[in-house]
Amino acid sequence: MTSDTIKLIFLGDITGRQGRTAVKSFIASLEEKPDFVIANIENASHGFGLTKKNYEDLSSSGIDCFTSGNHIWDKKDIYEYIDEAENLIRPINYPNGTKGVGSQIFEVNGQKLAVINVLGRVFMPPIDSPWQVVTDEIDRLKNIGVEHIIIDFHAEATAEKICFSKYVAHKYNTEENSLIKGFFGTHTHVQTADEQIYEGMAYITDAGFCGSVDGVIGMEFETSLRRLSTSLPERYEISESPIAQVNGVEVLIDRTMSTQIKRINVTIDNSKQGGGVNESE
């Protein structure tokens, strides 16, 4: 791997203890270490939010940048440490004055790589429009010499993710040079099979999630069943089955564009010492 090439891994929503354990086993099992690892962690602490303890634990596992979403605020201690958490970003289109930052710049193989986190608005809680906020931030990053931009678009609607990805690709990428190197959807916890290189940009509508396979998008089946079948309020409980999946994408980036994207879909048995990693895709 030359210094001009960046091998990047992006992992979908880490969900609960089983997701955290599986991700740590997965990263430790990699024979060739990536240059940069991004993971969405809005559900990392018992399925809702992120505690400082879990943030620090995952920070020591080989993850370089943490993105999030609307659930990042669910654990109240986030307000006490988010401003000091250098590798953690929250969606950029929260109103001005919101704690934390919506983008961060990293140096990878001597190159400036920025990560932007953004929330969609279709079937989501009210939030500022991403269209102007994100383009203003991309313009700012471009003007200060950032060479690569990765976007985690945390949204419900597939059409919104596809439309926004094409919008930024058309606006900022050319045949000679692509500024937006990656656009990865998160939030639904269901991995899509549409990974592709689009105008020099690695794309997938949803990267999937990292958590218990036997649950319902990470939650216990029985509580999900009662909530969905009765339409009555029911507290979701995190699934603790030790068979977990790790979803995401592996991307190769050169100086001018992304050249390859491959889905990650592996199953890990957390009950085994060190985790048993089995390739599923």
User: Residue 201 forms beta bridges with which residues?
Assistant: 198
List the catalytic residues. 71
Cα–Cα distances in angstroms (integers) from residue 29 to residues 26, 111, 170, in the given order? 5, 26, 37
Measured between alpha carbons, how far is 10 from 104 in angstroms, rounded to an integer? 15
pLDDT in tens, 153-187: 999 999 999 999 999 999 999 999 999 999 999 99
Q: What pLDDT does 281 receive? A: 42
Q: What pLDDT does 1 receive? A: 45
pLDDT in tens, 59-94: 999 999 999 999 999 999 999 999 999 999 999 999
Q: For residues 270 and 211, is the Cβ–Cβ distance under 8 A?
A: no
The domain segmentation of the chain, as residue ranges, is 6-279
Q: What pLDDT does 3 receive? A: 77
Enter the DSSP assignment of 71: G
pTM attached to this predicted model? 0.95
Q: Does residue 265 surpass a pLDDT of 50?
A: yes
Measured between alpha carbons, how far is 270 from 41 in angstroms, rounded to an integer? 19
Measured between alpha carbons, how far is 90 from 263 in angstroms, rounded to an integer? 24
Enter the DSSP assignment of 75: S
- The strand order across the sheet containing 201-204 reads 103-108, 111-119, 148-154, 180-186, 201-204, 196-198
Measured between alpha carbons, how far is 64 from 62 in angstroms, rounded to an integer? 6
Q: Does residue 123 surpass a pLDDT of 90?
A: yes
Q: Of how many residues is the chain composed?
A: 281
**Residues 141-148: what's their mean pLDDT?**
98
- Counting residues of the chain whose pLDDT is more than 70, the rounded percentage is 96
Q: Does residue 30 surpass a pLDDT of 50?
A: yes
pLDDT in tens, 190-248: 999 999 999 999 999 999 999 999 999 999 999 999 999 999 988 899 999 999 999 99
Task: Please state, as a whole number, how many other Cβ atoms lie within 10 Å of the Cβ of residue 56.
Answer: 11
Measured between alpha carbons, how far is 194 from 202 in angstroms, rounded to an integer? 11
Mean pLDDT computed over every residue of the chain: 95
Q: Which fold has domain 6-279?
A: Purple Acid Phosphatase; chain A, domain 2 (3.60.21)
The CA-to-CA distance between both ends of the chain, in Å, stands at: 23
Q: What pLDDT does 166 receive? A: 98
The amino acid at 115: V
The amino acid at 35: D
Q: What pLDDT does 234 receive? A: 87
